Structure 1
Amino acid sequence: MTGISPDIASFQAASAFSGAGFTTEESEVITATPGRRHIAKQLIRFGSLGLVSAIASLVLSFTNASSGNLAGLIYIISGAVLLILLARSHWLNHLVTPLIERTLSRTTDLELRDYTQVLGLQDDYRVAEVDTETDEWLTSGTLAELDLPAEGVRVLAINRADGSYIGAPGPDTEINPGDTVVLYGQEHRLQELSDRDADDTQAHKAGIEDHEHQLEAQDQDNGH
């Protein structure tokens, strides 16, 4: 809800809460923003308190015979299972989401958008960076000539080998060997494109046919 994809947010939240402290490029995205730093700091504090409490409870349960070791163990396991079920509850998530959004709106000026929702990264659709080489399909002409939208693929950006960047490239733009291309489309198509030879027109035709079949199936599902 602070503009990070769910998988990254979940991993970084678990790292902060557990105290594992994974140092990845994603963690720099967290620490670079005041709002996200505040959330991570609170998770670290709550995680530390929870760990101390859990250790204390376990020690007391297994050392205080008068309280009943088995009963204490059952309480601890039951509590842990309940917390896990609550954490995975869609109902609870739906309930607390408006509260979290209001809190974030007061503590941070981040746009409360998730790029996975904006781009519709579902049903096998992905954003991928593809490194290009000589004699590959992606480097065999202009974007208009490559006709990637006909295959259900969009070129979002191009990172040139010389370090320059082209956002939302036009139809006359060419992809050069050594460039890194940011593509949006279905995962299997992006994977196939990254390995396609420059003269493999048959693969291009197959990609177009595959995309047309998918559009027809979507129209049928929508009742058109």
Structure 2
Amino acid sequence: MIAVFLFIYIVIILTVIEIFVILFRLTGLKVEISRFQVISMMTGTGFTTKESELISGHPIRRKLATFLILFGAFSLAVIISSISEFLSNGLRTKEILLSAASVLIVFGILRQRHVQKHLSNLFNRKMKQNIELADLPIREVFLKNQQDTMLFLTIYQDSQLANCTIRQVLPDIDALDLEVVFIKRGDAVIRKKVYDSPLHEADQILLYGNKQVMFETFQHDMEIMEKH
């Protein structure tokens, strides 16, 4: 009987995982990332910092994550208490089967395309109503595809940009698929006329744009930065 209970419990857990994979996917998170993060949160094993920012920095995903973490903790307590009850008084199979059936029904409903479309619209509507752009992680806002990237480029004495303006070194900068967001000089941040401001040693420039174009354009300076 314990084996039957454990089997049903595993079915419930796997179904809950798939339910939340669907919910996270409807918020815009990739399926493979969603599944790994859901399992990590349910088991309480922690999850990678880079990917966790996609969840902790997103208000709707954060609420889903909170439920998952609590569910993982409570479900472990439930299985321990249920086994203890079985050993002492016998287990109530009916209640377990009803719980499993309920979870499977919810999963079946969420698999329906029209339900997913409705939930996706609901999530997007809540985002538009309650969430400011600053509340979202950088990757959500800027890195829309695999070709996009952001990079802090540090200027050194032997960098080709040192003591020059970006436009002097790259006259065709406006035609390239990249942007210089700002120049960081100590505690100061320069946002105006970034292409025409002379760059000093130890300056940092925040670059955003096509990864390949960026690496080809600033290859020399990036190699120098890596050496340091």
1:196 aligned counterpart, secondary structure: helix
Q: Is the alpha carbon distance of 1:184 and 1:52 closer, same or farther for their aligned partners in structure 2, counting shifts above 3 Å?
A: same
Partner residue of 1:204?
none
Instruction: Report the Cα distance in structure 2 between the residues aligned to 1:62 and 1:193, rounded to whole angstroms.
Output: 66
Q: Is the alpha carbon distance of 1:149 and 1:91 closer, same or farther for their aligned partners in structure 2, counting shifts above 3 Å?
A: farther
- The correspondence of residues 1-224 of structure 1 with structure 2, limited to 5 A, is 19=44, 36=59, 40=62, 43-53=65-75, 56-57=78-79, 60=82, 64=86, 94-104=117-127, 108=130, 110-111=132-133, 119=142, 121-139=144-162, 141-147=164-170, 148-160=173-185, 162-196=186-220
Cα deviation per residue 1:152-192 (whole Å; 9 max; x = unaligned)? 332111111x2210125343212222111111222234344
Q: Offset at 1:63?
A: 8.6
1:141 aligned counterpart, secondary structure: coil
Please provide the CA RMSD for this pair: 5.2
Instruction: Report the Cα distance in structure 1 between the residues aligned to 2:63 and 2:118, rounded to whole angstroms.
Output: 24
**Which amino acid in 2 is paired with 1:173?**
S
2:195 aligned counterpart, secondary structure: coil
Q: Offset at 1:126?
A: 1.1
**Which amino acid in 1 is paired with 2:66?**
I
Instruction: Report the Cα distance in structure 1 between the residues aligned to 2:212 and 2:82, rounded to whole angstroms.
Output: 54
Instruction: Report the Cα distance in structure 2 between the residues aligned to 1:129 and 1:44, rounded to whole angstroms.
Output: 33
Does the aligned pair in 1 maintain the 2:183–2:189 contact within 8 Å? yes
With normalisation by structure 2, the TM-score equals 0.50
Q: Is the alpha carbon distance of 1:182 and 1:95 closer, same or farther for their aligned partners in structure 2, counting shifts above 3 Å?
A: same
With normalisation by structure 1, the TM-score equals 0.51
Instruction: Report the Cα distance in structure 1 between the residues aligned to 2:219 and 2:85, rounded to whole angstroms.
Output: 62
**Which amino acid in 2 is paired with 1:102?**
R
Instruction: Report the Cα distance in structure 1 between the residues aligned to 2:142 and 2:49, rounded to whole angstroms.
Output: 24
- Please, which runs of 5 or more residues in structure 2 have no aligned partner? 1-23, 223-228
Q: Is the alpha carbon distance of 1:97 and 1:156 closer, same or farther for their aligned partners in structure 2, counting shifts above 3 Å?
A: same
**Which amino acid in 1 is paired with 2:71?**
L
Q: Sequence identity, in percent?
A: 17
Does the aligned pair in 1 maintain the 2:184–2:203 contact within 8 Å? yes
